Structure formats: structure tokens, C-alpha cells
């Protein structure tokens, strides 16, 4: 009963917070709600015995990424931003489509037959600790995707340089 209550709290609060993030007119408010959202997601991870992911969630998302967001928001002209409508005119159509997709997903999920658990059961992870288990698996079974991810990050850096630094034109 208690785990269900715990999960229920996080699930409901995460949905409410996500709605607040997208509906606020003031971008600073949106970012603040998002901060709270990230903390709740971290709480959910902790509840799932994933303490490493929870810590990363706080450090990377709540710490680094959100500060970056705030910097960008502070560069905006807030007065102008407040006058702009939050949603474009066709939002009711989008809402109808989203709600029907949601109903479809809920209907489908009811027939979900969970796969048998793998090697990393809750007990195995508790014995080994989550960080150790994750580190080992990243450098053995998932070495290949891990290496590809490093190239993806490199592209992100190159992209930031190309798009942000170069406002000049090359000589003819």
C-alpha cells in the first residue's frame, strides 16, 4: 500500500507540474516549475532503487541544464513575452488528438504482460549498489552504444560552435 501511495503522489505531482510548465505565460515561472518537476522525477528514480540516476538527475538537469535555461530566459524581453499568447490558435485540435492518443495508450497498456525480470533484480542491485552495476554494464554489454553516445556529444559541441559563433561570412 505504501509504495503505491508513494508512486501515486509522484505520478500525480509530475503531471500537474508538467502542465504548469507548459501553461505559464511567464517563462521564469515555467523554469521554476520545471525545477520542482526535476526534483520530483529524481524522487521517483530514488523510489525505483536507482540512486545514481536520481543523483545525476539533480546534478545535471536541476543543476546544470536548468541554470542554462534561466540564463536564456533572462536574455529574453519578459515584457514582450508576457503579451504573447501562450498557445497557437489550433490548440483545441492538438488537445483532442493528444487525449485520444492518451485513451489509446491507456487501453493498450491494460494488456501489458511484463517480461520476466533480467539479471539485475532489486536484490542483486542492493548487493552490488546501483552505481557499480551501471558502470559495469556500460563498459561491457553496452560498450558499443556508449561509444556512439560519445560521438553524439561531440556533434553537439561542434553544432554549438558552428551555429552560435559564426555570424560572419567567409571571403569570396
Partner 1 sequence: MPEFVMPDLAPVMPEIVMTILALVTLIADIIFKRKETLAILSIASVVLVFFVLFGTPFKTTFNGMFIADGYSLFFKLIFLLNVVLTVLISMRYLVIERVNFGEYYSLILFATLGMMLMASAGDLIVLYLGLELMALSTYILAGFITYDMKSNEAAMKYFLLGAFASAFLLYGISMIYGLTGTTDLNAISEYIILNGLTANPVVMLSMILFAVAFSFKIAAVPFHMWAPDAYEGAPTSVTAFMSVGPKAAGFAVLGRVFLIAFGSVRMDWSAVLIPIAILTMGVGNIVALSQTNIKRMLAYSSIAHAGYALLGIIAGTGEGLASVMNYLLIYAFMNIGAFAVIIMLRTEGFKGDTITDYEGLAKSHPLAAALMLVFMFSLTGIPPTAGFMGKLYIFMSAVYAGYTWLVVVAVIFSAISAYFYLRIVMYMYMREPKESVSLAATPALGIALAITAAAVIIIGVLPSAVVSFARAAVAGF
List of residues contacting partner 1 (CB under 8 A): 104-105, 107-118, 136-137, 139-145, 148-149, 151-152, 154-156, 158-159, 161-163, 166-167, 169-172
Tell me the C-alpha distance between 89 and 27, whole Å. 20
* Distance of closest approach, residue 145 Cβ to partner 1, in angstroms: 5
Are 31 and 17 in contact by the 8 Å Cβ rule? The answer is: no
Closest to partner 1 by CB, 1 vs 108, is 108
Closest to partner 1 by CB, 83 vs 152, is 152
* Distance of closest approach, residue 144 Cβ to partner 1, in angstroms: 4
Closest to partner 1 by CB, 83 vs 113, is 113
Tell me the DSSP string of 96-124.
HHHHHHHHHHHHHHTT--PPPP-S--HHH
* Distance of closest approach, residue 155 Cβ to partner 1, in angstroms: 5
Closest to partner 1 by CB, 2 vs 157, is 157
Tell me the C-alpha distance between 166 and 155, whole Å. 16
Closest listed residue to residue 56, CA positions, set 135, 150, 119: 135
Residue 140 in 3-state DSSP? coil
Amino acid at each position: 500500500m505504501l509504495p503505491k501511495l508513494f508512486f501515486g503522489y509522484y505520478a500525480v505531482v509530475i503531471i500537474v507540474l508538467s502542465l504548469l510548465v507548459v501553461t505559464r505565460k511567464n517563462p521564469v515561472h515555467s523554469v521554476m516549475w520545471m525545477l520542482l518537476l526535476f526534483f520530483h522525477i529524481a524522487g521517483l528514480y530514488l523510489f525505483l532503487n536507482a540512486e545514481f540516476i536520481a543523483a545525476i538527475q539533480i546534478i545535471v538537469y536541476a543543476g546544470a541544464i536548468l541554470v542554462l535555461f534561466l540564463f536564456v530566459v533572462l536574455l529574453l524581453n519578459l515584457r514582450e513575452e508576457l503579451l504573447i499568447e501562450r498557445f497557437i490558435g489550433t490548440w483545441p485540435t492538438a488537445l483532442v488528438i493528444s487525449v485520444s492518443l492518451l485513451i489509446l495508450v491507456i487501453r493498450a497498456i491494460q494488456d501489458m504482460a511484463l517480461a520476466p525480470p533480467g539479471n539485475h533484480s532489486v536484490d542483486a542491485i542492493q548487493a552490488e549498489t546501483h552505481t557499480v552495476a551501471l558502470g559495469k554494464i556500460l563498459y561491457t554489454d553496452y560498450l558499443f552504444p556508449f561509444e556512439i553516445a560519445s560521438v553524439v556529444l561531440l556533434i553537439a559541441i561542434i553544432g554549438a560552435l558552428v551555429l552560435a559563433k559564426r555570424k560572419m561570412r567567409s571571403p569570396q
